[in-house]
Amino acid sequence: MEEIQHRTIPVNGISMHVAELGEGPLVLFLHGFPELWYSWRHQMVFVAARGYRAVAPDMRGYGDTTGAPLDDPSKFTLLHLVGDLISLLDAVSPNGADKVFVVGHDWGAFVAWHLCMYRPDRVKALVNLSVAFIPRDPEMNPVQKMRSLYGEDHYICRFQEPGDIEAEFEKIGVKEVLKNILAFRNPAPLYFPKGKGFTYSADRAPWLTEEELDYYVTKFEKTGFTGGINYYRAFGLSWELNAPWAGAQVNVPTKFIVGELDLVYHTPGTKDFIHKGGFKKFVPLLQEIVVLEGAAHFVNQERADEINQHIYAFLQQF
């Protein structure tokens, strides 16, 4: 990864660490939890070799990006996260307001949907992985919904109390936490019963070398997990603030890719929404849905070669 360049850019009141490679049309890569810019290492090299400029930040609260108050989850709403990206694009786009390609995964995909919904003028086309667009439920915020579906032991519910899950993760150890989450490939819901640690045992994911795992470990040992967990703690507030966009569409050309074994894909109602018209209703420029057989949640790393080809094939249309 020596050829990848790194710099820190002041954006939206924080200092954002950005990895960059290549020259040409800009492709913005947005990572999820618990990840880093590094999650896109395979894609960055691939698109840069084909005439694109890959830009991948450590998102607010992650890695070498600093300045966000970790003790205040209200500073991690979707408005903050999208605001960071608009400010970043202002700084890195050659002509400021040029439209760019966006590729997101997990929380990065969720943020990318909202970037496109709030500011379609800044996005040329979108490839999102794992997390489909989720229309705003006017009756119930996402945390309440998860609680009603799965109970208090579901990981999103366990992530709500400040300091609670961090204390458990500290007992388990950063490397064990990352190894278990990144290797998770059960389509069933992820539970984290209080005081019981992981209820499953996982070896290191076969697509992740020991050296690659250690890169994540080194960064999360420095920062802890609170930054990423705050995205979940701000879920309810983001839902409140998104009221003006209730029923809004994402009007950006889009390709969606999900692993067959992805736990998000198996959330009740999600498959029907994706495949039976609901998705297309809210994302009318949705051009393609790809379900990768045998792949799980961290699909951009697990099946890097296939994801590279899917992204490149889509970008070439524009």
**What domains sit in the chain, N to C, each tagged with a CATH number?**
5-316 (3.40.50.1820)
pLDDT at residue number 1: 54
Whose tokens are 């032991």? That residue is: 153
Active site residue 232: yes
Q: β-strands 14-21, 5-11: how paired?
A: antiparallel
Active site residue 121: no
Q: β-strands 14-21, 53-57: how paired?
A: antiparallel
On whether the CB atoms of residues 166 and 233 are closer than 8 A, the answer is no
pLDDT in tens, 82-110: 999 999 999 998 776 689 999 999 999 99
pTM above 0.85, yes or no: yes
Bridge partners, 63 (sequence order)? none
% of the chain beyond a pLDDT of 70? 98
Cα distances from 110 to residues 20, 137, 207, 288, in angstroms, run: 22, 15, 24, 18
Alpha carbons within 13 A on the beta-carbon side of 289: 19
Contacts of 298 (CB under 8 A, 6+ apart): 35, 39, 105, 182, 205, 207
- Return the CA Rg of the chain: 18
On whether the CB atoms of residues 40 and 300 are closer than 8 A, the answer is yes
- Catalytic one of 232, 262, 265, 310: 232
Mean pLDDT of 12-18: 98
Active site residue 297: yes
Mean pLDDT of 141-145: 94
- Catalytic one of 64, 84, 106, 262: 106
State CA 279 to chain mean position distance.
19
Mean pLDDT over the full length of the chain: 95
On whether the CB atoms of residues 166 and 226 are closer than 8 A, the answer is yes
Q: What is the total residue count of the chain? A: 318
Whose tokens are 């020596």? That residue is: 2
Contacts of 283 (CB under 8 A, 6+ apart): 133, 249, 250, 254, 256
pLDDT at residue number 98: 83
pLDDT at residue number 159: 96
